[in-house]
Amino acid sequence: MSSRPMMPDPAAGADPSPSPGKPVIVLEDAAVRVGGKTLWRGLNLRVARGDFIAVLGPNGAGKSTLVKVLLGVHPAQGTLQVLDLPPGRAGHRVGYLPQRRGFDASLHIRGVDVVRLGWDGHRWGVPVPGARLFSARRRAAETRIAEVIDLVGASAYAHRPIGQLSGGEQQRLLIAQALVRRPELLLLDEPLDSLDLPNQAAVAALIGRICREEGVAVVMVAHDVNPILRSLDRVLYLAQGRAVTGTAAEVITSETLSGLYGTPVEVLRASDGRLVVVGTPEAPALHADRHDGLAGG
Ligand SMILES: Nc1ncnc2c1ncn2[C@@H]1O[C@H](COP(=O)(O)OP(=O)(O)OP(=O)(O)O)[C@@H](O)[C@H]1O
């Protein structure tokens, strides 16, 4: 986890502080169109092993779309590489936790089975119990499933029905599911949403630890940077069709965000260190091509 401090320049759009080492993600001058219009462009990002990057921005800025681009399920222009391959080609080397709204309380599938789906959810059918016991491959799977449940601190409740667990407990098990195939890159879409503050802090700390201890690069969409402020390496801030990248201290400033939004935005620091952004405009509409010159990047 490292980054070189340097003031970001929204106009230039370059990622100012790439980490050294072989990149896990390379985006150069990337752009995305949705419904025939440009959502964002001029996006430059390099993510290295063990980096923790937050993707921030207002509703509709294109944060989830960026994750879909990295997964290879949404097309984009520019230079795009994930683990040295075009997006979508790295298979199990990429773990993904989509946005969600929680499990139905009546759902009886156990937490451990949810994690197991991350291992063999692509296969049809129910495993044959006898075959399972004698398969070395299956034993390796069960060892890894137990290991990853332990890693996220969910051993005490992993055998209970997932619908009966708290939001924080469910989220830990879903993170375990995303980690079970030992991904080198973890894409998390708002994993802290719908969690209460203590659980936000606990899950944020867990993700930071996974980054450090497992060497996994994490790209995490977040609405609030505060729970992850201490664990982060860099942020990518999307707004008004443009992107800036840098450390949180560089990007989340009145000067940088005012430049990005093109209107005065104030960043206040509370006495407990929390950052509060004031005066951001409403969610931007998609940028029509005739405005591309203004959207810049
Ligand atoms: N397949 C699609 N077809 C049409 N519009 C789409 C499609 N996917 C995304 N959009 C639009 O693109 C914009 C960006 O969506 P996206 O979900 O990436 O934003 P976001 O920054 O993640 O928003 P939020 O913070 O609300 O989750 C939205 O206006 C959305 O309606």
User: For residues 250 and 245, what is the distance between their CA atoms, to the nearest angstrom?
Assistant: 8
Stated pTM of the model: 0.84
Question: Residue 292 has what pLDDT?
Answer: 36
228 CB burial (10 A radius; 0-12, 13-18, 19+) = buried
Question: Residue 195 has what pLDDT?
Answer: 81
Domain ranges of the chain: 1-90+184-297, 105-176
Can you give the three-state secondary structure of the chain, one letter per residue? CCCCCCCCCCCCCCCCCCCCCCEEEEEEEEEEEECCEEEEEEEEEEEECCCEEEEECCCCCCHHHHHHHHHCCCCCEEEEEECCECCCCCHHHEEEECCCCCCCCCCCCEHHHHHHHHHHCCCCCCCCHHHHHHCHHHHHHHHHHHHHHHHCCCCCCCCCEHHHCCHHHHHHHHHHHHHCCCCCEEEEECCCCCCCHHHHHHHHHHHHHHHHHHCCEEEEECCCCHHHCCCCCEEEEEECCEEEEECHHHHCCHHHHHHHHCCCCEEEECCCCCEEEECCCCCCCCECHHHHHHHCC
Structure tokens belonging to residue 70: 């990295």
Task: Take atom 27 of ligand 1 and give the residue whose Cα is closest.
Answer: 59
In testing the pocket of ligand 1, which one of 64, 192, 193, 219 has its CB within 8 Å of the most ligand atoms? Answer: 64
Whether 260 and 249 have beta carbons less than 8 Å apart is answered as: no
Ligand 1 pocket, residue 59 CB under 6 Å: yes
Domain 1-90+184-297 has CATH 3.40.50.300: yes
Task: Take atom 13 of ligand 1 and give the residue whose Cα is closest.
Answer: 60
Task: Take atom 28 of ligand 1 and give the residue whose Cα is closest.
Answer: 60
Contacts for 86-94: CB closer than 8 Å, 24+ residues apart: 90/184, 90/185, 92/181, 92/182, 92/183, 93/183, 93/184, 93/185, 94/70, 94/183, 94/184, 94/185, 94/186, 94/187
Tell how far the Cα of 154 is from the centroid of ligand 1, in angstroms.
32
Question: Residue 291 has what pLDDT?
Answer: 37
Ligand 1 pocket, residue 60 CB under 6 Å: yes
In angstroms, what CA-CA distances link 163 with 34, 102, 104, 113? 35, 8, 5, 12
User: For residues 68 and 13, what is the distance between their CA atoms, to the nearest angstrom?
Assistant: 21
User: For residues 49 and 19, what is the distance between their CA atoms, to the nearest angstrom?
Assistant: 9
Ligand 1 pocket, residue 65 CB under 6 Å: yes
Ligand 1 pocket, residue 38 CB under 6 Å: no
Per-residue pLDDT of the chain (297 residues; tens, 9 = 90+): 433 333 344 434 455 554 556 799 999 999 999 988 999 999 999 999 999 999 999 989 999 999 999 999 999 999 999 999 999 999 999 999 998 767 888 888 999 999 999 987 654 445 555 555 557 888 888 999 999 999 889 999 999 999 999 888 998 999 999 999 999 999 999 988 878 888 888 889 989 988 888 889 999 999 889 989 888 999 999 999 999 999 999 999 999 999 898 889 899 988 888 898 888 876 444 444 433 333 332
Tell how far the Cα of 225 is from the centroid of ligand 1, in angstroms.
20
